[in-house]
């Protein structure tokens, strides 16, 4: 049985209903794309899964222990001006399991070095976060979740404002994490990334959720994922009503 299941879930923000009667299971060891137009409730659902927004009704059944759940918010929501280096940020991934004030042992430092190497940020280890580019910051934040050995990872638009090399590195790490057993939910607005990453899609619209096969969703946009993957790569802004970048639009 899947480790993360939703049962007749209803969520609200500021007293207004955002999502109603949402059922379903996120597949284990796979990447699910969470899609929908601005305001459809993607962040709301993520907040509820992370346990910071209580449901109005229904329930979220999550078998992953809290210390193994990680959340990578939108970059804009983060204040990274506090004085902390890349290595220090990555090391904080130990906190949920170990506690914030227990200190680190040599094995933790070795693990952090391995994580930074995997993400191509070893040379930035002692650089303050405030001096990083968007892509470098995103790699460091993902490094924190690797250090945490997250079994459930939620990412809110992880590819926004990052360079194409970083997109490739992050996508590769996410695929590896899923292959190793992590349940991953990623908010996406780009059909290219959806085609490349997602094994499953949850589409939010009009207060309801629809579970979709990626191939079926791509077909709605005239893309045959099996035959013409390049056409998915041509899919860019602007956002349409479903919140996805439409095929054939200008880059």
Ligand X SMILES: Nc1ncnc2c1ncn2[C@@H]1O[C@H](COP(=O)(O)OP(=O)(O)OP(=O)(O)O)[C@@H](O)[C@H]1O
Q: Is 44 a binder of ligand X (CB under 6 A)? A: yes
Beta bridge partners of 185: 32, 154
The DSSP annotation for 39-63 comes to TSSHHHHHHHHTTSS--SEEEEEE-
**8 A C-beta contact, residue 46 and residue 185:** yes
Q: Is 158 a binder of ligand X (CB under 6 A)? A: no
Task: Tell me whether residue 41 or residue 214 sits nearer to ligand X (CB atom).
Answer: 41
Considering only CA atoms, give the Rg of the chain: 18
Among 4, 26, 43, 60, binds ligand X (CB under 6 A): 43
Among 6, 20, 35, 36, binds ligand X (CB under 6 A): 36
- Return the half-sphere exposure (C-beta side, CA atoms, 13 A cut-off) of residue 91: 19
**8 A C-beta contact, residue 156 and residue 74:** yes
Q: Is 247 a binder of ligand X (CB under 6 A)? A: no
Task: Tell me whether residue 15 or residue 83 sits nearer to ligand X (CB atom).
Answer: 15
Q: Is 83 a binder of ligand X (CB under 6 A)? A: no
Task: Tell me whether residue 9 or residue 225 sits nearer to ligand X (CB atom).
Answer: 9
Q: How many residues bind ligand X (CB under 6 A)?
A: 11
User: Whole-number minimum distance, CB 224 to ligand X, in Å?
Assistant: 27
Interface region with ligand X, contact rule CB under 6 A, candidates 35-43, 75-83, 94-102, 211-219: 35-43
Q: Which of 224, 198, 226 is nearest to 213 (CA)?
A: 198
């Amino acid at each position: 049985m899947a480790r993360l299941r939703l049962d007749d879930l209803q969520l609200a923000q500021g007293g207004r209903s955002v999502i109603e009667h949402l059922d379903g299971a996120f597949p284990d060891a796979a990447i699910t794309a969470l899609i929908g137009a601005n305001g459809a409730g993607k962040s709301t659902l993520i907040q509820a899964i992370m346990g910071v927004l209580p449901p109005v009704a229904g329930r979220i059944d999550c078998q992953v222990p809290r210390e193994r759940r990680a959340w990578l918010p939108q970059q804009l929501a983060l204040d990274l001006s506090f004085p902390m280096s890349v290595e220090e940020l990555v090391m904080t991934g130990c906190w949920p399991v170990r506690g914030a004030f227990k200190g680190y042992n040599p094995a933790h430092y070795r693990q952090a070095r391995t994580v930074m190497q995997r993400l191509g940020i070893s040379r930035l280890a002692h650089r303050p976060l405030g001096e990083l580019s968007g892509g470098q910051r995103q790699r460091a934040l993902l490094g924190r979740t690797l250090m945490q050995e997250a079994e459930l990872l939620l990412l809110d638009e992880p590819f926004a404002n990052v360079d194409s090399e970083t997109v490739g590195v992050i996508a590769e790490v996410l695929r590896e994490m899923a292959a190793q057993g992590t349940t991953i939910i990623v908010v996406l607005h780009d059909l290219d990334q959806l085609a490349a990453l997602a094994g499953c899609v949850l589409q939010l619209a009009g207060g309801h959720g629809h579970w979709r096969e990626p191939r079926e969703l791509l077909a709605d946009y005239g893309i045959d994922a099996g035959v013409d993957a390049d056409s998915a790569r041509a899919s860019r802004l602007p956002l349409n009503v479903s919140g996805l970048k439409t095929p054939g639009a200008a880059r």
